[in-house]
Amino acid sequence: MQVPAYVDYERATSVEHALALLARYGPGARVLAGGHSLIPMMKLRLAQPETLIDINPLTELDYVRLDGGELRIGALTRHAGLLGSPLAGAAAPILHDAERVIADPVVRLWGTVGGSLCQADPSEDLSAAFAALKATMVIAGPGGERTVPARMFHTGPYETVVAPGELLTEIRVPVAPGGGSAYVKVGRRAGDWPVGAAGAAVRLDGNVITSAGIGLTAVGAEHFCAAEAEEALRGAPATEESFARAGRLAAEHCRPVTDQRGPADYKRHLAAELTVRALRRAADRARGPGRGA
Ligand SMILES: Cc1cc2nc3c(=O)[nH]c(=O)nc-3n(C[C@H](O)[C@H](O)[C@H](O)COP(=O)(O)OP(=O)(O)OC[C@H]3O[C@@H](n4cnc5c(N)ncnc54)[C@H](O)[C@@H]3O)c2cc1C
């Protein structure tokens, strides 16, 4: 079956209007952003919303800006928009690393940052990147706005804390001097979903790591991060030995499964190796001239 079931359609004209429409149509309503996940799922009847609330007209949610020591990304920012943002590239190069290897230009032109995060695919790239960056999600609902740490955002495969009637509106990334970040992915071919991927964000004082974030995707890492590896890095020197230890811990604590993309033991190997590579590149960037998160 390649045709979606009958569905009502509403076009929101503002965040307030989108929230009012979500309230009016109740739990049977779904937000439509780029549609690159939702529409294929509807065609396969894996999703059967009664009403689509199209948020594409909400240009107010399409931005990347620096504000109060944070990089702020509107939820309707397209992948291509984030990749094309010099601000994002300078403040958090991990985001450009990740965006360069997400899908293909067509998907990146329509797919949105918010849609990717809300889809909550366990192999999604930006979820790992924002987990490494220790970002914060801003969610608007009938009772106003609330913020949730990126690491609390996903509650399981294809599940998030965004309730029916709510809208993810913004992602906030802390930015401070002395930081560097990077993302490394292995896929079966260009533009494919990851077999495994790791992101790292570190801050250095001299050669000492004062804070470390490690994001992992497609390898069954809880909350898309490697908490034990991060803990081991805090206060450690930014050396190959420290990175190798972090890689071992990341691999030890993830729970990859064998599937069409590869066997579990290979994915575990990737978790270790890609963590090391991401940390190495993030630390190099933290030492270099174009420093960011
Ligand atoms: C061929 C192909 C290859 C891909 N490769 C990769 C890849 O390598 N790596 C990767 O990470 N991803 C990949 N993707 C996924 C792609 O990045 C996502 O499909 C897309 O970005 C999802 O965003 P969207 O705007 O299209 O979301 P939609 O499909 O419109 O929505 C997805 C879900 O999120 C909800 N939603 C959307 N926006 C909001 C919001 N603001 N608030 C609350 N709920 C919301 C929708 O209701 C829906 O449930 C690929 C997709 C395709 C089609």
Which residues neighbour 4 within 8 Å (Cβ) at sequence distance 6 or greater?
A: 39, 42, 43, 45
**CA 272 from centroid of its chain's CA atoms:** 20
Chain mean pLDDT for the chain: 96
Identify the pLDDT of residue 17.
98
Sequence-distant (6+) residues with CB within 8 A of 176 are 69, 203, 293
**What is the model's pLDDT at position 2?**
76
Q: How many structural domains compose the chain?
A: 3
- Rounded CA-CA distance 221/214 in Å is 10
Say if residue 265 is in the same domain as residue 194. yes
List the residue whose alpha carbon is closest to atom 10 of ligand 1. 124
Judged against a pLDDT cut of 60, whether residue 291 lies above it is answered with: no
Q: Which of 141, 138, 118 lies closest to 19 in space, CA to CA? A: 141
Render pLDDT for 68-100 as a digit per residue (tens, 0 to 9). Answer: 899 999 999 999 999 999 999 999 999 999 999
Does one domain contain both 248 and 162?
Answer: no
| Ligand 1 pocket mutation pick from 41, 53, 119 by most atoms within 8 angstroms of CB | 119
Please say whether the beta carbons of 198 and 274 come within 8 A.
Answer: yes
For residue 14 the two structure tokens come to 């503002």
Predicted confidence at residue 293, as pLDDT, reads: 60
Indicate if 156 and 194 belong to the same structural domain: no
Domain span at 132? 59-174
Query: Does pLDDT of 292 surpass 60?
Result: no
Q: Is 70 in the pocket of ligand 1 (CB under 6 A)?
A: no
The DSSP-derived string for 85-127 is -HHHHHH-HHHHHHHHTSS-HHHHHH-BHHHHHHHT-TT-HHH
What is the pLDDT, as a whole number, of residue 46?
Answer: 93
List the Cα angle 259/274/261 in 5-degree steps: 15
Q: Using CA positions, which residue lies closest to atom 31 of ligand 1?
A: 115
pLDDT higher than 80, residue 117: yes
Regarding the beta carbon of 102 and ligand 1, being less than 6 Å apart is answered yes
Q: Find the CATH number of the domain harbouring 31.
A: 3.30.43.10
- State in Å: Cα 117 to ligand 1 middle: 7
pLDDT at residue number 62? 98
User: pLDDT of 180-213, one tens digit each?
Assistant: 999 999 999 998 999 999 999 999 999 999 999 9
For residues 155 and 77, membership in a common domain is answered with: yes
What is the arithmetic mean of pLDDT over 264-283?
98
For the Cβ of 118 lying below 6 angstroms from any atom of ligand 1, the answer is yes
DSSP-derived letter for residue 35 is -
- Residue 1: pLDDT band with limits 50, 70, 90: low
Q: Which tokens in the block code for residue 170? A: 């913004």
Q: Is 135 helix (H, G, I), strand (E, B) or coil?
A: coil
80-103 core/surface letters (b: 16 or more CB in 10 A; e: else): bbbbebebbbbbbbbbbbbbebbb
Domain assignment of residue 291, yes or no: no
Mutate to test the pocket of ligand 1, among 7, 38, 101, 188 (most ligand atoms within 8 A of CB): 38
Do both 167 and 273 map to the same domain? Answer: no
| The pLDDT of residue 204 | 96
The verdict on residue 49 lying in a domain is yes
- Give residue-wise pLDDT tens across range 14-73: 999 999 999 999 999 999 999 999 999 999 999 999 999 999 999 999 999 999 899 999
Of residues 1 and 260, which shows the higher confidence score?
260
Backbone torsions φ then ψ of 136, nearest 5 degrees: -125, 140
Q: Beta partners for 180?
A: 202
Question: Would the pLDDT of 271 be above 90?
Answer: yes
